[in-house]
Every structure is written in structure tokens, then in C-alpha cells.
Amino acid sequence: MQDAARPPLDLIVPQRAGRPLAEAERFVPLPSGAAANFAIALAALGAQVGFMSRVGADELGGWLVARLGACGISTELIKPVPGQLTPVSFCWADGAGEKSFYFYRFPRFSDPMGTFTIDQVDQSEVLLARVLDFTEATIRAQPLRDAAFRAAAIAREAGRTVCYAVNYRPDSWREPLPAIRTIQQQAIAAADLVLMNEEEARFIFATEDLSEALARASELGPLVVVATCGERGALVGCDGQQTEIAAYSVPVVYDVGAGDSFHAGFIAGYLRGMPAPQAARLGAAAAALKISRPASAPPPTWSQVHDFMRSA
């Protein structure tokens, strides 16, 4: 399985959960960003994961690559870009669902993925894996957008499975809303598996009816469309049917990355041949375990998720 994504940001969080950044005495550095969160969680679940990305040609970029490698991720396709710095972000979560993010990215100086162009898409690299997974961050701007769509097309033409995970960040887009919806729908049409949350589904298809949004997404061609709904679980669209998946009730310690953990659990189940609803239940369990642990805790393993599902 291969993830084509923006570089993992160095995420820095307070050592004590729930402490605002201004009150923190110590910070914990973590490799982060939606794609990195997903890749780390998927590797912990036993999948062989490769990461296609770019980092700055600096010590922080080297640190990130080393940390991802230590998590069992193949980093051969993460390449440093001369003249670029690796971006950093700070985050804190209050344990009740509220989060604060502060991003430190400087145009032309700390955007290594902004140098990734369509001519750098190597067919042999794309076809290394059974599943190509690309994230919303790769389609927010050119030239990376064309590169991501090209990689998805190569994978599909070769009979590989393509997964698109929506992680919509309005402030990161420059196009007007109608154009954003069009690009998002193009990404959905380019994939076999699509994951999003309910707010994203309603936005992309301009409807408050989640069931209608999933139906319209399915009409674009993906085999499976999943919308997560927080504590209400998830809705899975597959084979012309929609199945509700219940959430697991757990105490919330740190809920940043919950959707990425669901994404990882779902793909881990898919890779093992599970039907879509069953894979979504696995994703819900992985997400529940993730949010019940501190930020620096390792992601749950396959056996831990299954033990949790049996005992829940």
C-alpha cells in the first residue's frame, strides 16, 4: 500500500494533554499531518506501507524521515528538496473536541511538495503497491494537483485500487467554493474507495441530506463511499446499499487524528479482504482506541483492535 501525500509536518504538542500551548512547560515533537498519521496507524495494523512525499533538505526533514522509518514505513520515496525547509505546526486539544492548530509555512521556503510536478510521477513507483492512497492536501493547488491525479490514473489503469481521503481545510484553498466542489468531485471520481466526514460530504454535494450526498458520490464511480459521523459512527455506501456503523464509546484523551485512524483501520480491513461494513467497524474501533490514548502513545496494533472489538 502506498500513500502519495504532502510531507508529514513536524507536529508539536504540549506534553500534558489538555494544556494550552501558552501554559505548556514541555512540548512533544511528533511526525504528523493527515497522511503521516494515517501511514503510521496503518503500519501499526500490520500493513506494508510506503510513503511518497517530499521534505525540506534540512535536519528536521531528516528527523521526520527517520521517525517514519522507525514506525515501519518504507521511506525510499520521500526525497529532500534543496533550498526548502520542512514545515512545522503546533497543536493542542482540550479533550472535549476542541482543537487549536498553528501552522508555520513560508511560501517558496517551506513548501517542498509545491515542487512536485506531474513529470516527477514515476509509473514504476506508483505501481509498487496494491493500493494508492492520496489525500486532499495533494489536490489543493497546482502543480501538485495534476501530479496526484496523474498518479491515481496510472494506478487505476493498471488495475490497482485507488483510495481518496477527504480532509478538507478551507483556509488552504484559493479557488472559489464552486471550483473547490468540482475538484473534490473529480478526486472522488478518480478513486475506488472514498472516505470523508459528514460535514465534508454535505459541503461537496451541497446538500444537508447525508444519504443523498453518499448516493451522489457513488454515482461518480467509486465502489465504496464512507462518511464518518463522530460519536454517531459512520455511514457506508456500497453495492447500492447504505449501512450504518455504530461508534464505540470511550473516554476522550486526545482526539487529533481520529479520522486518520478510522481511515487506517478501514484500509487495513480492506487489504485483508473484509467487506466494506466490516472494514468500517474495524476503522471505528481503531479510531476509538486512538482517541482514548495520549498524543504520544503508539497507535493500536491489529491484535489490540480486535481485542477491543471483542470486549466492547
For residues 20 and 59, what is the distance between their CA atoms, to the nearest angstrom? 27
- The pLDDT, as a whole number, for residue 53 is 94
* Closest alpha carbon to 146 in 187, 185, 189: 187
CB 233 within 8 A of CB 245: yes
- The pLDDT, as a whole number, for residue 103 is 83
pLDDT in tens, 70-80: 999 999 999 99
pLDDT in tens, 147-187: 999 999 999 999 999 999 999 999 889 999 999 999 999 99
What domains appear along the chain, each with residue ranges and CATH number?
2-6+33-84+114-311 (3.40.1190.20)
pLDDT in tens, 101-128: 788 877 788 999 999 999 999 999 999 9
* Closest alpha carbon to 2 in 112, 119, 122, 99: 122
Whether the pLDDT of residue 94 is over 80: the answer is: no
For residues 41 and 49, what is the distance between their CA atoms, to the nearest angstrom? 10
What does DSSP say about strands 88-93 and 99-104: parallel, antiparallel, or unpaired?
A: antiparallel
Task: Please enumerate in sequence order all residues whose Cβ is within 8 A of that of 137, keeping only pairs 6 or more positions apart, or say none.
Answer: 5, 6, 33, 34, 35, 113, 167, 169, 172
Mean pLDDT along residues 237-261: 92
Mean pLDDT along residues 245-254: 91
More confident site: 212 or 253: 212
What's the whole-model pTM score? 0.90
H-run or E-run covering 197: strand 193-197
Q: How far is CA 89 from the centre of its chain?
A: 16
For residues 209 and 241, what is the distance between their CA atoms, to the nearest angstrom? 16
pLDDT in tens, 273-294: 999 999 999 999 999 999 999 8
